[in-house]
């Protein structure tokens, strides 16, 4: 027992020392190098922003004077200065003080040249200022980009060297672990059994918390729909009726005014403004809560909404319909409609395209809706995704359906929603 304990103690001490060395190496070199690379990428992104701005400044079709880009240059300048300060604080060994000094001096010279160019432009010498941009400013920006790229390459080489050293330590630790494993196998078995039981309890608790989170999310979605329904009804009933009455009163007042008097023209103009406001209120009411679902059904509301998307967002939507016309339960219709709205909103905001495709297939027991674009695509592996994607998943789960986010062959994003259609017993429960 004493020999076993001594062997375990000695091996544990050795492993602790090796792990401490590994942690110090990763903390002092690898982590700092990664943070340094992030700052260099930040500088590189700012330099690219400046390059795009200078390209726009040289574009003869731009209607703005060169001084219009001054505020953008100032914002980038502040960001670059902050990034340089952070680089100096990191002081990674892969970079020499001369390299950091060269980067700082080059940036200072770039801003001096930029200040002179904006001064020329401000004094009315636009042509000369553009010439200076071509001759001096773009060259300095390119040189800075090359210097930053070189530093990034050196950082990558440093990270590779660090990884090699870390791997060497891991190999030593692995050999010791095998020896240690033979001595302590019985203890590991007992500990594993204990951990299995603990993990089962932990996973059960996590599953319970996940279910509670899903319930809360679904309650929030339901509360949101109820609130939006109330607001839409207030807008449609209260404000809509007031604007309708206002238009009627203006019409009567216009009828009593003399035919060619200025008052009659003013009343007609105010009446047109009131009518335009009424249409906007009705449109907002439909956006908050699609009451058309209760009047013309899911498919009719879908066609109406898609006809308004291009006017509202600039995205042309091609719509395809397959399968027999089937009534859809109101609850299912609302959530599928909201998923469609969120998906097309994401296309308009993030995809960078002007065309999308919507396909609806309905069978006797399944509704399938697809929204496809060939834009930038959605990064589902990101640690923090947008709330819209989470909400779409919760809405699909709320009606017993599934939702998939895939990448079509042409690129972009394909959202596929499948929802089972229950056989409702009451006709008034369908739309």
177 part of a folded domain: yes
Each residue of 250-302: pLDDT tens digit? 667 767 677 767 776 777 777 777 777 766 666 666 566 566 777 888 888 88
Which domain-ending residue is among 183, 210, 229?
183
Overall domain count for the chain: 2
3-state secondary structure 337-396: HHHHHHHHHHHHHHHCCCEEEEEEEECCCEEEEEEEECCCCCCCCCCCCCHHHHHHHHHH
Which domain-ending residue is among 183, 213, 240?
183
Distance CA 375, CA 350 (A): 8
199 part of a folded domain: no
Each residue of 312-342: pLDDT tens digit? 888 999 999 998 888 888 888 888 988 998 8
The CATH number of whichever domain residue 138 belongs to comes to: 1.20.120
314 part of a folded domain: yes
Q: Are residues 422 and 299 in the same domain?
A: yes
Which domain-ending residue is among 183, 204, 226?
183
Task: Render each residue's pLDDT in the chain as its tens digit; 431 residues.
Answer: 556 556 667 767 777 776 777 666 666 666 777 777 888 888 889 889 988 888 888 877 767 788 888 888 899 889 988 888 887 776 555 566 777 788 888 888 889 988 888 888 888 888 888 888 888 888 888 888 888 888 888 878 777 777 777 777 767 767 776 776 676 767 656 777 887 888 888 888 887 776 766 666 666 666 666 676 666 566 555 665 676 777 777 667 767 677 767 776 777 777 777 777 766 666 666 566 566 777 888 888 888 888 888 888 889 999 999 988 888 888 888 889 889 988 998 898 888 898 999 999 988 789 999 999 998 877 656 555 567 788 888 888 888 899 999 998 888 999 999 999 886 433 334 44
Provide the residue range defining the domain that includes 35. Answer: 2-183
165 part of a folded domain: yes
Tell me if residue 257 falls in helix, strand or coil: coil
**pTM over the 0.75 mark:** no
Each residue of 13-53: pLDDT tens digit? 777 776 777 666 666 666 777 777 888 888 889 889 988 88
DSSP classification of residue 69: G
Q: Are residues 41 and 167 in the same domain?
A: yes
């Amino acid at each position: 027992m004493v020999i076993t304990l001594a062997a375990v103690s000695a091996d544990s001490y050795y492993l602790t020392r090796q792990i401490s060395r590994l942690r110090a190496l990763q903390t002092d070199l690898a982590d700092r190098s990664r943070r340094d690379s992030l700052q260099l990428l930040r500088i590189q992104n700012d330099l690219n922003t400046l390059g795009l701005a200078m390209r726009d400044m040289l574009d003869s079709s731009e209607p703005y004077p060169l001084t219009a880009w001054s505020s953008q240059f100032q914002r980038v300048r502040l960001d670059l200065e902050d990034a340089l300060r952070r680089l100096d604080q990191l002081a990674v060994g892969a970079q020499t003080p001369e390299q950091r000094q060269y980067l700082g001096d080059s940036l200072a010279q770039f801003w001096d040249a930029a200040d002179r160019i904006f001064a020329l432009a401000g004094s009315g010498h636009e042509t000369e200022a553009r010439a200076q941009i071509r001759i001096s400013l773009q060259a300095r920006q390119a040189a800075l980009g090359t210097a930053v790229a070189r530093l990034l390459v050196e950082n990558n080489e440093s990270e590779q060297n660090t990884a090699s050293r870390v791997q060497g330590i891991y190999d030593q630790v692995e050999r010791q672990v095998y020896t240690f494993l033979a001595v302590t196998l019985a203890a590991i078995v007992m500990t594993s059994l204990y951990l299995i039981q603990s993990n089962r309890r932990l996973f059960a608790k996590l599953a319970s918390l996940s279910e509670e989170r899903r319930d809360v999310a679904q309650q929030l979605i339901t509360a949101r729909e109820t609130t939006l329904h109330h607001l839409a009804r207030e807008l449609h009933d209260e404000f809509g009726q007031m604007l309708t009455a206002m238009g009627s009163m203006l019409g009567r007042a216009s009828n009593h005014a003399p035919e060619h008097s200025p008052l009659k023209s003013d009343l007609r103009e105010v009446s047109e403004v009131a009518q335009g406001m009424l249409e906007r209120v009705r449109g907002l009411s439909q956006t908050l809560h699609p009451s058309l679902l209760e009047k013309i059904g899911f498919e009719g509301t879908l066609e109406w909404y898609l006809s308004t998307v291009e006017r509202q967002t600039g995205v042309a939507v091609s719509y395809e319909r397959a399968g027999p016309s089937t009534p859809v339960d109101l609850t299912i219709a609302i959530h599928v409609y909201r998923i469609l709205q969120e998906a097309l909103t994401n296309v308009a905001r993030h995809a960078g395209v002007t065309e999308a495709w919507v396909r609806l297939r309905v069978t006797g027991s399944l509704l399938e809706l697809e929204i496809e674009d060939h834009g930038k695509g959605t990064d589902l592996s990101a640690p923090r995704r947008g709330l819209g994607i989470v909400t779409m998943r919760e809405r699909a789960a709320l009606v017993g359906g599934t939702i998939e986010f895939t990448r079509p062959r042409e690129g972009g994003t394909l959202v596929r929603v499948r929802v089972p259609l229950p056989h409702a017993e009451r006709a008034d429960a369908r739309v």
